[in-house]
Structure 1
């Protein structure tokens, strides 16, 4: 097998080296070079069987830390869900063009293992009848959505970067993140989020968005596109045509966006236009209904008027279009799982991401081509876009990575220091009655840290309460910590009040406080003790509108370590709060009135 893989790879390099070089060159290269590259890629496509062509469209999950020798439980999970035991078997049977990594699929244990998995996947891709490297992808948005944690560098998430408002910070964060992904063999990142979050009740986007100002979001999206792609990673603007104004999570239902066409042009379109102008490599679709853009009210992922009529023809985008996960309920509500991939292709998609039943989806596309519902010429259009991207990324030249490369790039001291500096510029001070902050460890040495401890994203080493307590301890305070949860019980609140005795200040981490949340009771009871209370909104910044009694409020936009450490430095006066709200905070008693506008933020 090793000999065959080597021979296949040599053949592939001979066939496609010029294509790779042509696709990688900029606008100053001659049109002849581009045409030559496409001719060679067309030649590669012509040698593919129909089954191989169909496979190139699919990007699939697979369980396991190894491409050929996963743990038994992961092999069993693969057999149950996909009908194969390993990533290598998946590639051999279905000829898939891409693999998506997940932490829950045990793909991302640590950087060297990730690199080895990536190499194993590429070897399997080059050991098939028509050898083609795979495009390995991931959702590494940073902030609350990250599949790889320490020792990789974790950057502030999108809304935190929106609070900083610095395009140079956004670009640098993406370039650092991209360089680390590329070192591990991951060459397509499903980031940045280009949705404009104008709905505080949005359950699926929220702090994953840069903010509520379309032009500000557009500038940060373009900056991150350039950062990722300068590092050799395909950026992916998502979720077209815009998922920012919904109260339905498309994982569990089909959201409906009521924007008029004019509203869409003014609010949702600017970040995607900016991404296209910045040379975005891929754009991800949204499983949402926008009647103003498609009267048939098909999900955008399956809508030809939206994907071909608007994205391709009106915005002039000819890069790769990837669906959001086809396992999400939003795309499965109106049509069956056998029709969804076919309709997505007919709408204008190229990559079909993570179908719930790969055999069903793969065979459905195969039948659609054989029956003439989808022409082979249409199939070839998508494959050419995918191969152009692989060539641009240099995967035909050399798809492999090394442990040495990982060690040079991943979690380096300079990267970690940059993350800390960027995070400090994102922390937002919303309230500071009587100049309580910064806390002086000589005047207020004894602190109590309590609060919500939601499920941890990959950028955390422990519960946020413990992380904040540790960071403040390292800054010279004496700290006691108590986790009270996202819905503290009466007994837990009593325990927190008792623990506040003798303390000089209390820091409370809050998480998505609602009108009925017992987090409100916790804060008011603690404030009633007379000990000064500092609240830290560790996700949505809207918490401040529903709380009372606190003397100071910070917003961190996420509870990953890098953002909580920055908040601790701000609390202790080791850093200045420089963040400004990227979204408005409405009054809790009258949502038509703004409590804190976009751009608000205090400092000292």
Structure 2
């Protein structure tokens, strides 16, 4: 395959430059604390002394506040923007972040695009710094500032931040170094803008092709591979990445066909199946020294036959996670606004029950005032003992001190442009992403396309994605056009795509969830039936190939990020030899128990 000299030198430079990260990732967790600190002797004593002094000086209200993490609208801590102020009043009864932190003594905040927190790196860093200034006034504890930067389809901090294709793509690479390097880069960029906790990695093992909420967010359907990559990311985030990692969603959300955002899924694994399938990545995360673990809003009868959601289950959070698995870090709930945890109990009871079950940090209650007052009342009545409250606050404060947030909670504004999206980070994502693209089927050596292979028509899922792929092809001097057929193509859209494909030699059709979307599958079948040369590309889960097994060629990118599309077109034209391997088994469409392509399958060019 053609490998330009510049590209080879770039890869070599990348590998040499990130060698320190590789060294970090191969140090035994038994000898390296995830913070990079020596926690023996004086450092450990200093942490303990600071924590115990803070506990002694805190009021009950301040302790209760440390348990809560929530969102707030606005690009500044003291926003006066009318829309943000109105949204904050409706959600929290305050005008802005500064008032919210003061009112509830928050332990943390979480950033989203929809809450208008993430405009650009400098704005994010200044927001983080200003909120930390509010939190630490009068010797208060600094905040855990978090987001969900899983990469791939769950990416909160966008351009110019470095984009990776996500966990399942890393599973296709099959290399802990790649997963660790992605975590180092992602963590370093989060830290540069004052975000010190990432709600990643997803440690769920996706063994159900119909899973609507995990899918490509999972590394793999193989528990061993998922465990190896989870551990690598924990060490990457908490080592050179410099941020707290959070494995989710305990005890394992990988085998469900329901979404806990809108319902309460039930996992029917036996105890033995849980040990074999779900537990390994969480065990690996704990062995790697992970700071925090997030609960899942799922029923797991084999672990707790009361059918309480795991978030509210003492058997699961305390009996299993704490006592049997030995985890003594911070347990954070998934969002308490999700239907999966609100289905049976009121919003006043859910935070109290989660705390009683063994959770430490209570994420995004739907009504912060009600949640705060309910926990405070439970402490004052004795339902939640002071020792139990102190235990959670002690863990939270210990994390903040050991992670260095107490010593320096602020982002360095002068370093942002040197870190976020820099050339080294871009090179790392290029190397990682190129190694993930997977060639599943290639009949009659349809691929790679030659320079003389004629015009290419790009259609299918994703308005900007189809256009972007066509543009990348056109940039190579090839005649290319695109037509977005829609997320669920209508009969008219299918007919239009088939008609347009007639004037091109090759049709590239993008799918995203055709496995569960009959309309997308119908588009691919119509193009095949019309006698076109069809290359199908799954830009989401790779299970889509099961709906069109007779296609001329099939690829999986697991993602539609810019680097993933770059790699796709490079593979189409033989500039990169595909090396990814399926991180899951693809079942036949007729019977999910019969494999169509086994875990580990992946073709290369001669």
TM-score (normalizing by structure 1): 0.92
Aligned pairs for 1:192-231 (under 5 A) are 192-230=201-239, 231=241
> Is residue 34–residue 289 contact of structure 2 (8 Å, CA) maintained in 1?
no
Of 62, 77, 99, the match for 1:52: 62
Q: Deviations over 1:455-493 (max 9, x none)?
A: xxxxxxx72112211222223322101100121112212
* Alpha-carbon distance in 1 for matches of 2:84, 2:474: 40
Match for residue 5 of structure 1? none
Q: Deviations over 1:166-214 (max 9, x none)?
A: 1000000000000000001001000001111100011111110011111
Distance 1:432 1:37, change over 3 A: same
Q: Report how many aligned residue pairs link the two structures.
A: 572
Aligned pairs for 1:21-420 (under 5 A) are 26=37, 29-30=40-41, 33-127=43-137, 129-230=138-239, 231-420=241-430
Match for residue 503 of structure 1? 504
* Alpha-carbon distance in 2 for matches of 1:390, 1:88: 20
Alpha-carbon offset, residue 515 of structure 1: 6.8
Q: Deviations over 1:486-511 (max 9, x none)?
A: 21112212221221132121110012
Match for residue 555 of structure 2? 554
* Alpha-carbon distance in 2 for matches of 1:466, 1:588: 29
* Alpha-carbon distance in 2 for matches of 1:188, 1:152: 16
Alpha-carbon offset, residue 78 of structure 1: 0.5
* Aligned residues: CA RMSD: 1.5
Q: Deviations over 1:70-98 (max 9, x none)?
A: 52111100001100010000001011010
**Aligned with 2:481: secondary structure?**
strand
* Alpha-carbon distance in 2 for matches of 1:23, 1:550: 47
> Is residue 23–residue 388 contact of structure 1 (8 Å, CA) maintained in 2?
no
> Is residue 23–residue 34 contact of structure 1 (8 Å, CA) maintained in 2?
no
Alpha-carbon offset, residue 25 of structure 1: 6.5
**Structure 2 unaligned regions, length at least 5:** 1-32
Q: Deviations over 1:53-112 (max 9, x none)?
A: 110100010011111125211110000110001000000101101000001111111111
* Alpha-carbon distance in 2 for matches of 1:71, 1:325: 26
Match for residue 458 of structure 1? none
Distance 1:25 1:174, change over 3 A: closer
**Structure 1 unaligned regions, length at least 5:** 1-21, 454-461
* Alpha-carbon distance in 2 for matches of 1:530, 1:68: 61
* Alpha-carbon distance in 2 for matches of 1:52, 1:177: 32
Alpha-carbon offset, residue 404 of structure 1: 1.8
* Alpha-carbon distance in 2 for matches of 1:255, 1:54: 30
Match for residue 493 of structure 2? 492
Structure 1, 33-42 or 361-370: larger mean CA deviation: 33-42
State the 4+ residue runs in structure 1 displaced beyond 4 angstroms.
22-28
* Alpha-carbon distance in 1 for matches of 2:288, 2:477: 45
* Alpha-carbon distance in 2 for matches of 1:312, 1:110: 39
Of 450, 460, 466, the match for 1:451: 460
Alpha-carbon offset, residue 590 of structure 1: 2.4
**Aligned with 1:227: secondary structure?**
helix
Q: Deviations over 1:33-62 (max 9, x none)?
A: 423421221111111111111101000100
> Is residue 523–residue 548 contact of structure 1 (8 Å, CA) maintained in 2?
no
Structure 1, 34-43 or 215-224: larger mean CA deviation: 34-43
Structure 1, 267-276 or 496-505: larger mean CA deviation: 496-505
* Alpha-carbon distance in 1 for matches of 2:35, 2:212: 39
**Aligned with 1:109: secondary structure?**
coil
Alignment of 1:520 onto 2:521: yes
> Is residue 459–residue 485 contact of structure 2 (8 Å, CA) maintained in 1?
yes
